[in-house]
Amino acid sequence: MIDTKSYANLHNLTSSLLSHWPEHTVFIEKSLTGRSTDVLEVSEELSKAIFKLSEDIPGGIGAIITDYRFLCEDIVLPEEIYFRRNGKYRLTTFDEANAECYANHAFMDRYMNGLLLSDVMWSNHAHGFGYFVNSYLPRLPEMAHHLEIGPGHGLFLYFAQLSDKVGKLTGWDVSPTSIAKTTHALKNLGAVKAADLVLQNLYDAAGDEQFDSIILSEVLEHLEDPEVALQSVADRLAPNGLLWINVPANSPAPDHIFLVDSVEHAARLVEATGLKVIEAVGFPMTGTTLERAKKHKLAITCSVIGQRI
C-alpha cells in the first residue's frame, strides 16, 4: 500500500476508518495502490474537507465512518446481490426511489454521509473526482460561468471555486433541503467565491441563460429519462461550452433507476444531444482492472466531456 504519511489528512482519515473497521484493511490497501500523485493530492484535500464537514455532524468523523460502513454493508451489498442475480437495477421509477430513499430523511443522512467518505475510499470515486479537478477544470475558458446540477454535498462546487478558471458559480437543485446542505457546506469549508444556489428543476428552467461549463455528477442514474435531461443541459451551453458527466456503470444502489452499462454507453448519451465528445474515460471499482470490469459488468465510474461546437 502507498505510504500515506506524507498526506496527513488522508493518513488520519484512513487510520480512523481502519481503527473502527479493521476488516476493511485489504480493500483500502487495494484502493490506494496505484493512485498517482495528482489523484493522491486531491484525495488529501478531500480528506481535509471531510474532517471539516464532520465538525457539524453529531458524532463527528466517527459517525461518518459508521455511516460509510452502513453504506457498504447494508445499502450497496443487497443491491449488488440483486443486480448479479437479475442483471438490472431493482427499482425503475423515481416514485419508487422517493418512497424508499428520498422521503426517508434519517436514511438519506446516513446514505449521504457514507457517500461523502466513498469519494476518498473507493478507487473509482477517487479517480473520478481527481479527473474533475486535474483534467476537466483546467480545460475551462478564463472566467467561466460554471453550473452544477444537483450539487449534493457541495464538494464539486467547492473545488470548482478554487479553480482560477472559474469566475462565476451556480448550482441548481430540486430539493430545498439539498440547497440548504450545500450552502452550509460551502460556508463551513470557507469557500471564497460565492455560489448562486437556485431551487430549479432543469426540465422546467426558464430563460435563455447560457453557461461555459455544466456538470452532472452521479445524477443521470437517478432519472427515468436522462436523454431528455441531457438535451436540456446541452441547450444551456454557450458556444464551445463544456459538459462533464460523471455517471456510474453497473453500479446498483437503492435509488439508481437508469442503468448505464459502459463508458461507451455514457458517451453515446452525450453524443445524442449533438455535442462533440472530446474525451470519455472509465475508472473501475476497487480491486479490478478496467478490462475485467467491462467483461464482468462490474462498477465503473464513467467520465465524459462533451463540447458544444
Cα 36 to Cα 231: distance, rounded to the nearest angstrom: 34
Rounded to an integer, the average pLDDT of 194-214 is 88
Rounded to an integer, the average pLDDT of 153-163 is 97
Among 62, 96, 121, residue at a domain's last position: 121
Amino acid type, 145: H
Q: What mean pLDDT value characterizes the chain?
A: 95
Do 139 and 60 fall into the same domain?
A: no
Instruction: Please determine, for residue 69, whether its predicted confidence score (pLDDT) is greater than 70.
Output: yes
Among 101, 121, 141, residue at a domain's last position: 121
Angle, in degrees to the nearest 10, between helices 105-121 and 8-20: 120
Specify the pLDDT at position 83. Answer: 98
Instruction: Please determine, for residue 1, whether its predicted confidence score (pLDDT) is greater than 70.
Output: no
Specify the pLDDT at position 2. Answer: 64
Do 82 and 137 fall into the same domain?
A: no
> What is the domain-level CATH number for residue 205?
3.40.50.150
Among 71, 97, 121, residue at a domain's last position: 121
Do 99 and 209 fall into the same domain?
A: no
Q: Is residue 98 part of a domain?
A: yes
Rounded to an integer, the average pLDDT of 220-242 is 95
pLDDT in tens, 44-62: 999 999 999 999 999 999 9
Do 202 and 300 fall into the same domain?
A: yes
Q: Is residue 126 part of a domain?
A: no
Cα 53 to Cα 65: distance, rounded to the nearest angstrom: 13
Do 38 and 87 fall into the same domain?
A: yes
Cα 4 to Cα 163: distance, rounded to the nearest angstrom: 25
Instruction: Express as a percent the part of the chain with pLDDT over 70.
Output: 99
Rounded to an integer, the average pLDDT of 58-87 is 98
Residue 22: pLDDT band (50, 70, 90) is very high
Angle, in degrees to the nearest 10, between helices 60-70 and 8-20: 60
Specify the pLDDT at position 224. Answer: 93
Number of domains comprising the chain: 2
Q: Is residue 291 part of a domain?
A: yes
Residue span of the structural domain in which 163 resides = 131-307
pLDDT in tens, 286-309: 999 999 999 999 999 999 999 999
pLDDT in tens, 246-284: 999 999 999 999 999 999 999 999 999 999 999 999 999
Cα 149 to Cα 111: distance, rounded to the nearest angstrom: 19
Specify the pLDDT at position 206. Answer: 66
Instruction: Please determine, for residue 166, whether its predicted confidence score (pLDDT) is greater than 90.
Output: yes
Do 156 and 257 fall into the same domain?
A: yes
Do 61 and 203 fall into the same domain?
A: no
Do 282 and 142 fall into the same domain?
A: yes
Higher-pLDDT residue of 273, 178: 273
Do 87 and 146 fall into the same domain?
A: no
pLDDT in tens, 4-16: 789 999 999 999 9
With cell 427499482, the residue in question is 91
Beta partners for residue 145, in sequence order: 168
